[in-house]
Amino acid sequence: MTLTFDPSTRLVIGGRSVESVSGATFATLNPATGQELAKVSEGSAEDMDRAVAAARDAFDNGPWGRMSPAERRGLLKRFALLVEANADELAMLESLEAGKPIFDTSTIDLPETVACLMWHAELADKVYDQASPSGPGVVSTIVREPIGVVGAVLPWNYPLMMAAWKIGPALAAGNTMVLKPAEQTSLSTIRIGELATEAGLPDGVLNVVPGFGETAGQALGLHTDVDCVGFTGSTEVGRMFLRYSADSNLKRVLLECGGKNPMVVMSDAEDLDKVAAAACESIFWNAGQNCSSNSRLLLHESVADDVLARIDEAMHEWIVGDPLDPETRVGAIIESAHMDKILGNIQKAKDEGATLRAGGGRTRVDSGGWFVEPTIFTEVSRDMTVAREEVFGPVLSVSTFAHADEGIAMANDTDYGLHASVFTSNVRSAHLAARMLKAGTVSINTYSEGDMSTPFGGYGLSGFGGRDNGVHAHEQYTETKTIWLDLA
Ligand code: NAD
């Protein structure tokens, strides 16, 4: 039997699969082999105009805006169930295009994508408006309305999960959308667009325009008929979206950007095996290409040797391999340029005097793909580049501290502030640390940074304007309107 791989590669506009105006395509590659997977239609500014026009028409004139929230809930649940029914195909697309282990895409990415869509679908008819305490002479209500056309510009590291984090709340709140997937990972997002049509979402409610950042992404950011852009990606590009907004129509901009997240292990941390397992999972999951990974491990000097010895053991579980092998825990790096950047950071850490304890090189070279060994540096000082800049790869930097206050100060010595973990058995110091750490999420005695009900986003260079997940995400995709009725 010959297996054929024939993914959908075209834009989804107005409920239909269409070619780009120019007919141009670009290659999408398999990071595990370096081979071309497919040619994807390349969206341009003109295609963005078409998609935004379809989304605007669906918002202003289509049935979506006239539906009751309960009807929207029903359609969005049907959409979530259809994604679930196609989870195997979508997990495979994610693995092939992003180099992610099939174990992760099938047990984490897809279930969480479905859970997110379902959670927000359920919220559609459960958020109440308000009445203000303005006295008996008036009826004053404060209502939440959809903003209008929402653009979503997405990263490649969790293509579907990050898409769902935007689609779920934005559509549940009644907006229409245009998605721009990262150019490295278009296929699963295109498929999601098709499934939205199949699920019965009205034409134009969810449009997908694959293409490059400098063209399609910029066109979306500058579009004067887009009311809001939700972006996940690098801080550098996030800044551009603020400029695009300032230079166009002051659209709302919501940014989820990078991180240089600390894991602080106090002298009284109870279960050092758990610490070691969490440290490895945090930095090696998704080959470290994770904005909330704890890339800085800060150890109290009294437990440092013990924790490091346990990490040496725990690392054996993090097997680098073919992403389609169910045993693989560390897949490929998204592209060769990013692999080179990670290897460059490793070299720089060595040059700056950090001690290489594990890994440090490229691996599986014969596969033709881009793989980096799980890597650990110890004796990292605060001013070294590996302690300050986001590597976005499987590279852990380990430093020690002598007093709890010093550990917290080191943790906060960053321009980012997405996520921080602290391990301690003392409830009081756990709470104190949680209050003192500058981060959008502080996890205590775990690496996990929350669930669908908890807002996710960062301080400082880690984000701007809002939070993903939870009721907070739903509200940020709405406008607040006051309706004032004078009874006199
Ligand atoms: P990126 O910023 O290069 O790309 C993100 C998106 O922006 C892509 O769709 C890309 O095409 C688009 N883009 C690129 N240049 C553009 C431009 N000039 N104008 C408009 N759009 C443009 O980031 P990436 O490499 O995809 O992802 C890695 C970064 O994302 C890391 O810094 C990581 O920390 C961050 N990230 C953050 C979160 C979070 O929730 N905070 C989640 C995942 C990733």
Catalytic residues: 256, 291
Q: Would you call 397 helix, strand, or coil by DSSP?
A: strand
pLDDT at 448 over 90: no
Q: Is the CB of 189 under 6 A from ligand 1?
A: no
Q: Torsion over CA of 480, 482, 483 and 485, rounded to 10 degrees? A: 170
Mean pLDDT of 63-71: 95
Q: Which residues in 381-405 are b (16+ Cβ under 10 Å) and which e? A: eeebbbbbbbbbbbbbbbbbbeebe
Q: Percent of the chain scored above 90 by pLDDT? A: 98
**Cα gap 213→335, rounded to integer Å:** 16
Per residue in 260-272, pLDDT (tens digit) is: 999 999 999 999 9
Q: Which residues pair with 253 in a beta bridge?
A: 229
Strand order, beta sheet including 11-13:
16-18, 11-13, 206-208, 176-180, 149-153, 228-232, 252-256, 463-464
Provide the pLDDT for residue 4: 74
Mean pLDDT of 440-466: 94
The values of phi and psi at residue 443, to 5°, are -105, 135
Cα of 466 vs centre of ligand 1, distance in Å, is 17
Q: At what angle do helices 427-436 and 404-411 cross, to 10 degrees?
A: 30
Structure tokens at 353: 């005097």
CATH (residue range 262-451): 3.40.309.10
Cα of 267 vs centre of ligand 1, distance in Å, is 37
DSSP 215: I
**Ligand 1: which of 109, 157, 389 to mutate, judged by most atoms within 8 Å of the beta carbon?**
157
Q: Is the CB of 154 under 6 A from ligand 1?
A: yes
Mean pLDDT of 66-73: 96
Dihedral sign of CA atoms 157, 158, 160, 164 in order: negative
Q: How far apart are the first and last CA of the chain?
A: 80
Q: Is the CB of 449 under 6 A from ligand 1?
A: no
pLDDT at 3 over 60: no
Per residue in 5-48, pLDDT (tens digit) is: 899 999 999 999 999 999 999 999 999 999 999 999 999 999 99
pLDDT at 136 over 60: yes
DSSP 354: P
Q: Is the CB of 97 under 6 A from ligand 1?
A: no
CATH (residue range 11-257+463-483): 3.40.605.10
Is it true that 11-257+463-483 and 262-451 share their CATH fold?
no
Asked whether the beta carbons of 21 and 47 are under 8 A apart, the reply is yes
Per residue in 361-411, pLDDT (tens digit) is: 999 999 999 999 999 999 999 999 999 999 999 999 999 999 999 999 999
Strand order, beta sheet including 130-131:
130-131, 138-146, 478-486
CA angle 265, 268, 274 (to 5 degrees): 55
What are the Cα distances from residue 112, in Å, to 10, 163, 222, 325, 432? Answer: 25, 11, 31, 21, 31
Where do the domains of the chain lie? 11-257+463-483, 262-451
Q: Is the CB of 227 under 6 A from ligand 1?
A: no
pLDDT at 481 over 60: yes
Per residue in 197-226, pLDDT (tens digit) is: 999 999 999 999 999 999 999 999 999 999
Q: Is the CB of 232 under 6 A from ligand 1?
A: yes
* pTM assigned to the model: 0.96
Provide the pLDDT for residue 68: 96
Provide the pLDDT for residue 2: 54
Q: Give, for 456, the enclosing helix (H) or strand (E).
A: none
Provide the pLDDT for residue 441: 97
Q: At what angle do helices 87-98 and 110-123 cross, to 10 degrees?
A: 120
**Ligand 1: which of 97, 186, 237 to mutate, judged by most atoms within 8 Å of the beta carbon?**
237
Per residue in 80-129, pLDDT (tens digit) is: 999 999 999 999 999 999 999 999 999 999 999 999 999 999 999 999 99
pLDDT at 337 over 60: yes
Per residue in 255-306, pLDDT (tens digit) is: 999 999 999 999 999 999 999 999 999 999 999 999 999 999 999 999 999 9
Minimum CA distance residue for ligand 1 atom 18: 214
**Ligand 1: which of 243, 253, 291, 339 to mutate, judged by most atoms within 8 Å of the beta carbon?**
291
Provide the pLDDT for residue 124: 98
Per residue in 155-203, pLDDT (tens digit) is: 999 999 999 999 999 999 999 999 999 999 999 999 999 999 999 999 9
